[in-house]
A and B are shown apart, each in its own frame.
Chain A
Amino acid sequence: MSEKSLPVLTAKDFASDQDVRWCPGCGDYAILNQVKKVLAKVNATRHNSVFVAGIGCSSRFPYYMSTYGFHTIHGRAPAIATGVKIANPDLNVWVVTGDGDGLSIGGNHLLHVLRRNVNVKILLFNNRIYGLTKGQYSPTSEEGKKTPSSPQGSLDLPLTPLSVALAAEASFVARCIDVDPDLAKVLERAANHKGSAFIEIYQDCNVFNHFAFRYATDKDAKEENILRLEHGKPLVFGKDRDKGIRMTSEQKPEVVKLSESGIKEDDLIFHDEHDEKLAFTLSRLRVDDGFPEPVGVFYQMDDDCYEDLLTQQIDEAIKARGVGTLEKLFNAGDVYEIEPSEVPHEQHV
């Protein structure tokens, strides 16, 4: 097909006819808009795109897209998406999930879709709360968080989605913020990555957990609290780009001020998207510990996709044993012939 014959779709073309029913001011709107833009940008088609979601606010996402969509059951979207890719590897499959859906009830499926490197793009909307069920603490809620189900404060230590994804052998790991323009860049890279892509998106639930990420979105404060990762570039941050992160002699990251006591950019850690250990170190940096929280692509590695390897095994099996026919199927194993009896059968009663 020539380029010209492709219909050029715009972001609008990816909107369904359904009214969007998220709360006014929800961070999900911004993400929805960016996803539609990126699909148009990467020349995706509606009919070849599939959005699979679990349960939760974020998981209503498929209804608002004009692509194929499947709003499934709680936590299981990665498993259903895996089945879709197994059945038809040509589809572009996106999974939309949240911190509760993806890390609590569906934690197991998330680990396995990542380690298998199924070619799906996973958007984990992290608002650090259960929104749809009215505000209980989630696996990413801070310890001590008071919610209707934890009136004395949550006892759970929160987990870090990116650390989990890296430990699960994900081949593309990134973090974005709902209202940050860099979201589009990362989504585009994820769309073009061959393999499972995991993107944590800091998302503001303005009803049950408003301002959970204020430090990362506030106009005046955010550049002090986030660090924009760029492959091959030093880890510099700050409104005036005057701070950076370097590795101590004990191989621990520390925040340093540039030009103070002669520290230059060359002394800082240089981001390498293919360095798994560095990615993990970066995933551990938290504002609460005095670090900026990195955003952008933490890790990316090309690797074979599960569904392609499966197809390959089938091809190999066919090559080795020939295309299976019913004739071959039925006659495999020990086939024997019962000849018509020459003499009528006598029963030895």
Chain B
Amino acid sequence: MPTESTSDSHPHQDLLSAVIRFAGDSGDGMQLAGTQFTDTSAIIGNDVATFPDYPAEIRAPAGTVPGVSGFQIHFAAEDIFTPGDAVNALVAMNPAAFKAHIDDVEPGGVVIANEDEFNKVNLRKAGYPEDYNPLDDSQYLTRYQLFKVPITRLNEEALADTGMSAKDVGRCKNMYALGVAYWLYDRPLDQTIKYLNRFFGEKKKLPKVAEANIKTLKAGYYFGETAEMFPVRYHVARAPITPGKYRKVTGAEALAMGLITAGKLADKTICYCGYPITPASNLLHALAAQRNFGVKTFQAEDEIAAVCASIGASFAGQIGVTGTSGPGFALKSEAIGLAVMTELPLIIVNVQRGGPSTGLPTKTEQSDLLQCMFGRNGDAPVVLLAPQSPGDCFDAAIEAVRIALRHMAPVCLLADGYIANGSEPWLIPDPDSFEPIPVKHPTANGQFHPYDRDENLARPWAIPGTEGLEHRIGGLEKQHITGNVSYDPENHQLMTMLRKEKIDRVARFIPDQTTFGPDSGDLLVLGWGGTFGSIHTAVARAQKKGKRVSAAHLRYLHPMPSNLGALLKRFRGVLVPELNTGQLRLLIRGRFLIDARGLNKVQGKPFLVEEIEQAIDLMLADKFGDREYLMPRHHQVKLEDQEYDFAAALAGAAQETHES
């Protein structure tokens, strides 16, 4: 079995990093192939970052462009922070996948096309003109290293004597493609073989299926070795990663682990109440599978019931957590207001997706910031935190629980589809390295006042079952201290201010905002959440070119770090790249009266590094002019595109309608 690298005489080329994308029909197993490639790359010591991209429909019409599922892996011999801009190698399992992804491949990049599927029917389904096959198109042949591999047929031949049905054989072809990719990038097979044996062999009790998958995986690998089709193999050495024990985690997994850890640190049960919603369901699944950690999971009848049950759990003295995405968050608004009013700890995870309304369920966006910040009736402040990467979800979840319990307040954790489903290597922490989360429950001692407050303005968390502390809370305005219902005008003003001040005082526990690069200069690129990787990489490149650019990434969106205002004012300009039309920018402008400019992208995809680099250049060259923000179009942030060209779009739409 090939495990040693560089064991053959094939010419090798060393690369610092590479980006490979697997693309096929949503039933082709591309997510599995991608995950396996990632795991193997991580285990051999590469730094990795991934970006799964799958359709909203579970099985969109087979062979069509909307049904294409992709998985991109960036693996490197250096520290990386994004899944990569341009694709170096594309594995396209059918014409639709080719069509959907070919433009992302860098010129000269490798394209491995499963030529068996480029037949008349599939070409038509992909929307190609009659009698046209892109594999014969000279523009692609000259632009890319295009390799036509009959993956379907070779997989069938490899599995001819297994006695499996044609359908089952067909389902193994992703492993054949993976085998080819493993050979091309000089990766060992053992990790995937182990996985196949464990998953199909042990878990699903289908040893024959495991065997077949392994067989075709190897066949793919040997194809690379013997077919002499590829002129060169690529080698990406291990990255200078801090030594230690690692595992690959997705953001959803890290969130689940963070919540479980927080529960242990607080000696409380995590009561996670959710309702299925893309892309947040993985968090519910991850927690439901780990009930032996004492986690209670509850699939409620709807989003409202989910948040209400978690509020009930917090009232009863455990840690109520609910998770959702934008549309679900909207439904939870009123109940979150109840948690604000009753001053109970509550964690709301919002795995953001493209909106408004149902929007783009499987695509990423950062457009719920203002919803989470303000989307409630009345003045109803909550704490807002945003993890910046899949692994960071772990720490952010613990921090969210710590704040919620210390301040008796709802905390909203703003993840997004990109970091929840993306993955990265995670240095396994020492379980004893965490500070416990202290919890105070009062006991009967004289007269009890449910709206008494401590130095953080948090009220006592007296829990049902405690003798002598019986009290009533609710959504009606409370009298200061006693918690009795009060409609007194002065009291309402006092209580409103207390609720605000309580959240503002969370800032006392927030570390000062740090910068990547000097804390003053020509430009500060200010980001939050899942855009960290692209911003960091773009700013690093600008710094390398000698530009006086720094980056700051906000984890604490509300309240913000106390030093942020002063920090922003030490830069000549502030650029806020966001996957929305300028929500943090609005908050920054409003709060600090700073002329922050935006780079705003709403295409359901993360920023490309080059898009941010271009915006940095424009800002530094003072070319933004009076424009408050620019939007990248087709990977270009051009000044001439500074105004969104509605006229052209409308004219184009009219023409299309006319044509059809």
| CB–CB A329/B290 < 8 A | yes
Given contacts A83-B310, A87-B271, A338-B246, contact A72 B474 (CB under 8 A): yes
Tally A residues with Cβ within 8 Å of B.
70
Does A47 reach chain B (CB closer than 8 Å)?
Answer: yes
Tally B residues with Cβ within 8 Å of A.
83
Segment with Cβ contacts to B, from A127-135, A262-270, A310-318: A310-318
CA distance A332 to B286 in the complex (A): 12
Q: Which residues of A contact B242 (CB under 8 A)?
A: 338
| CB–CB A336/B43 < 8 A | yes
| CB–CB A331/B247 < 8 A | yes
Given contacts A327-B431, A336-B42, contact A348 B15 (CB under 8 A): yes
CA distance A325 to B263 in the complex (A): 11
Given contacts A335-B246, A338-B241, contact A46 B474 (CB under 8 A): no
- Interchain CB contact (< 8 A) of B292 among A63, A87, A314: A314
> How far in angstroms is the closest Cβ of chain B from A53?
8
| CB–CB B465/A317 < 8 A | no
Does B491 reach chain A (CB closer than 8 Å)?
Answer: no
Given contacts A91-B465, A327-B431, contact A18 B484 (CB under 8 A): yes
Those of A297-326 within 8 Å (CB) of chain B: 310, 313-314, 317-318, 320-326
Q: Which residues of B contact A329 (CB under 8 A)?
A: 257, 260-261, 290, 293
Q: Which residues of A contact B305 (CB under 8 A)?
A: 76, 78-79, 82, 108-109, 112
Q: Which residues of A contact B241 (CB under 8 A)?
A: 338
Q: Which residues of B contact A76 (CB under 8 A)?
A: 304-305, 308, 335
Q: Which residues of B contact A320 (CB under 8 A)?
A: 292
Does A345 reach chain B (CB closer than 8 Å)?
Answer: yes
| CB–CB A331/B464 < 8 A | no
Does B243 reach chain A (CB closer than 8 Å)?
Answer: yes
Given contacts A47-B468, A47-B470, contact A79 B304 (CB under 8 A): yes
Does A48 reach chain B (CB closer than 8 Å)?
Answer: yes
CA distance A126 to B300 in the complex (A): 26
Q: Which residues of A contact B294 (CB under 8 A)?
A: 314, 318, 323-324
CA distance A335 to B431 in the complex (A): 15
- Interchain CB contact (< 8 A) of B291 among A50, A67, A314, A334: A314
Given contacts A73-B475, A347-B78, contact A67 B320 (CB under 8 A): no
Does B576 reach chain A (CB closer than 8 Å)?
Answer: no
Does B467 reach chain A (CB closer than 8 Å)?
Answer: yes
| CB–CB A330/B257 < 8 A | yes
| CB–CB A330/B428 < 8 A | yes
Which among B195, B320, B428 has the greatest number of chain A C-beta atoms within 10 A?
B428
Does B370 reach chain A (CB closer than 8 Å)?
Answer: no
Does A81 reach chain B (CB closer than 8 Å)?
Answer: yes
Does B264 reach chain A (CB closer than 8 Å)?
Answer: yes
| CB–CB B292/A322 < 8 A | yes
Interface string of B300-332 (1 = CB under 8 A from A): 111011101111111111101000000000000
CA distance A62 to B471 in the complex (A): 9
> How far in angstroms is the closest Cβ of chain B from A306?
9
| CB–CB B271/A86 < 8 A | yes
Does B244 reach chain A (CB closer than 8 Å)?
Answer: yes
Does B298 reach chain A (CB closer than 8 Å)?
Answer: yes
Q: Which residues of B contact A98 (CB under 8 A)?
A: none
| CB–CB A87/B470 < 8 A | no
- Which chain A residue lies CB-closest to B464? A68
| CB–CB B312/A348 < 8 A | no
Given contacts A68-B472, A330-B431, A334-B43, contact A84 B296 (CB under 8 A): no
| CB–CB B317/A335 < 8 A | no
Does B485 reach chain A (CB closer than 8 Å)?
Answer: yes
Does A340 reach chain B (CB closer than 8 Å)?
Answer: yes
| CB–CB B312/A86 < 8 A | yes
Does A349 reach chain B (CB closer than 8 Å)?
Answer: yes
Does B211 reach chain A (CB closer than 8 Å)?
Answer: no
| CB–CB A69/B240 < 8 A | no
| CB–CB A70/B247 < 8 A | no
Q: Which residues of B contact A81 (CB under 8 A)?
A: 312
Does B496 reach chain A (CB closer than 8 Å)?
Answer: no
> How far in angstroms is the closest Cβ of chain A from B306?
8
- Interchain CB contact (< 8 A) of A336 among B246, B269, B273, B338: B246
Those of A70-122 within 8 Å (CB) of chain B: 70-73, 76, 78-88, 90-91, 108-109, 111-112
Which among A18, A48, A317 has the greatest number of chain B C-beta atoms within 10 A?
A317
Interface string of B243-256 (1 = CB under 8 A from A): 11111110001000
| CB–CB A84/B240 < 8 A | no
| CB–CB B473/A70 < 8 A | yes
> How far in angstroms is the closest Cβ of chain A from B263?
10
CA distance A325 to B348 in the complex (A): 24
- Which chain A residue lies CB-closest to B485? A63
Does A225 reach chain B (CB closer than 8 Å)?
Answer: no
29 CB-based A-B contacts, threshold 8 Å: A69-B472, A70-B473, A72-B338, A72-B475, A73-B338, A76-B304, A79-B301, A79-B312, A82-B298, A82-B305, A82-B309, A83-B298, A83-B312, A87-B269, A87-B318, A88-B464, A109-B305, A112-B305, A324-B293, A325-B431, A331-B245, A331-B247, A334-B39, A334-B247, A337-B246, A338-B244, A345-B240, A348-B15, A348-B77
* Given contact pairs A82-B305, A82-B309, A318-B292, a sample of 18 additional A-B residue pairs in the complex whose CB atoms are under 8 Å apart: A62-B472, A62-B474, A68-B472, A71-B474, A72-B474, A72-B475, A79-B308, A80-B315, A83-B273, A86-B313, A87-B269, A108-B301, A313-B291, A330-B247, A335-B246, A335-B428, A336-B246, A338-B238
